[in-house]
């Protein structure tokens, strides 16, 4: 819960920062435009100094390779389990029943390498972190270090029973970008494949009997997962969806066909 709260606070601070930058930009435009001329942003190299004329400013993106640290594509959304294409879990997977509105997906990128072909198109390979946090309904304990996903029923009423996985995510994005509108803001459409390397699995349980307990294992999560993703947005804000094509758990026959779908809001393209 503290991690989710911290993420929300971070998102709010980042949004406030973007809003302040936008206000500063508008103030600069107002200072540079005391006569009230219409300011538009685009790619035409046209201008005039006459009062009342429209000024079109050039805001082109340079072609070539880009590499460096980043803090972008910040995701906050919901995660859904698909059991052989169904949103209803099969009988053998009922121990994984979860609270839909408290089962979340979060992540962000910290490193990127890309090539811009034009103002409208670029390819970007990123690296970052991704968390899937499943809030279990049942009073079960997922067992550590088993040959396949296993559990035991408990006679404890857990206040919290959270089953989670942390991945290093590696998305390869093909980004299409429209021309900037009159506010200097473009639309973005990004699609591509994403791979994920398992860093750890975790079970966190909170009860009156034992307090807070945390257990770490791989819990048979896939060591490597893969699937397509899509991002659509305006300016710095957007929505995302990700679907992983291989099973969530490895070497677990009862969980064959159990996959992960995530979707939500994002900040930073």
pLDDT at residue 164, rounded to an integer: 98
Least confident of 22-26, 116-120, 244-248: 22-26
pLDDT at residue 183, rounded to an integer: 84
**Which residues touch 86 (CB under 8 Å, ≥6 apart)?**
none
Least confident of 15-29, 98-112, 207-221: 15-29
- Do the Cβ atoms of 136 and 97 come closer than 8 Å? yes
What percentage of the chain has pLDDT greater than the value 70?
77
Read off the pLDDT band of 253 (50, 70, 90): very high
Predicted structure pTM score:
0.80
Query: Which tens digits make up the pLDDT trace of 63-106?
Result: 899 999 999 999 999 999 999 999 999 999 999 999 999 999 99
Which domains, from first to last, does the chain contain?
Answer: 63-267 (2.40.160)
How many residues are recorded in the chain?
A: 269
Q: In the predicted model, what is the mean pLDDT of residues 123-134?
A: 98
pLDDT at residue 42, rounded to an integer: 40
pLDDT at residue 61, rounded to an integer: 67
The more confident residue out of 36 and 93 is: 93
pLDDT at residue 63, rounded to an integer: 86
CA 45 to chain CA mean position, Å: 37
pLDDT at residue 2, rounded to an integer: 53
DSSP the chain: -HHHHHHHHHHHHHHHHHHHHHHHHHHHHHHH-TT---EEEES--B---STT--EEEE-PPPPEEEEEEEEEEEEEEEEEEEETTBSSPPGGGGGG-B-GGG-EEEEEEEEEEEEE-SSSEEEEEEEEEEEEEEEB-S-EEEPSS-SS--EEE-SS--SEEEEEEEEEEEEEEEEEEPPP-TTS--EEEEEEEEEEEEEEEEEEEEETTTEEEEEEE-TTB-SEEEEEEEEEEETTEEEEEEEE-S-SBSS-GGGTTEEEEEEEEEE--
Q: In the predicted model, what is the mean pLDDT of residues 35-44?
A: 42
């Amino acid at each position: 819960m503290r991690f989710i709260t911290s993420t929300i606070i971070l998102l709010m601070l980042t949004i406030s920062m973007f809003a302040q930058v936008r206000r500063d930009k508008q103030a600069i435009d107002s200072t540079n435009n005391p006569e009230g001329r219409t300011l538009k942003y685009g790619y035409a190299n046209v201008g005039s100094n006459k009062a009342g004329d429209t000024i079109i400013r050039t805001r082109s993106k340079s072609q070539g390779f880009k590499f460096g640290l980043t803090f972008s594509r910040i995701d906050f959304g919901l995660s859904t389990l698909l059991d052989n294409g169904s949103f209803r879990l099969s009988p053998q997977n009922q121990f994984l029943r979860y609270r839909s509105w408290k089962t979340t997906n979060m992540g962000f990128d910290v490193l990127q390498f890309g090539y811009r072909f034009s103002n409208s198109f670029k390819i970007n390979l990123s690296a970052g972190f991704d968390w899937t946090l499943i809030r279990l309904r049942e009073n079960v304990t997922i067992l550590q270090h088993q040959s396949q996903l296993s559990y035991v029923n408990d006679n404890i009423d857990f206040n919290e029973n959270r089953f989670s996985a942390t991945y290093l995510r590696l998305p390869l994005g093909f980004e299409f970008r429209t021309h900037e509108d009159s506010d200097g803001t473009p639309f973005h459409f990004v699609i591509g494949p994403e791979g994920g390397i398992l860093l750890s699995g975790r079970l966190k349980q909170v009860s009156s009997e034992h307090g807070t307990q945390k257990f770490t294992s791989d819990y048979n999560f896939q060591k490597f997962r893969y699937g397509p993703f899509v991002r659509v947005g305006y300016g710095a804000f957007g929505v995302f969806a990700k679907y992983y094509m291989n099973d969530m758990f490895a070497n677990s026959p009862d969980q064959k066909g159990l996959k992960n779908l995530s979707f939500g809001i994002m900040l930073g393209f």
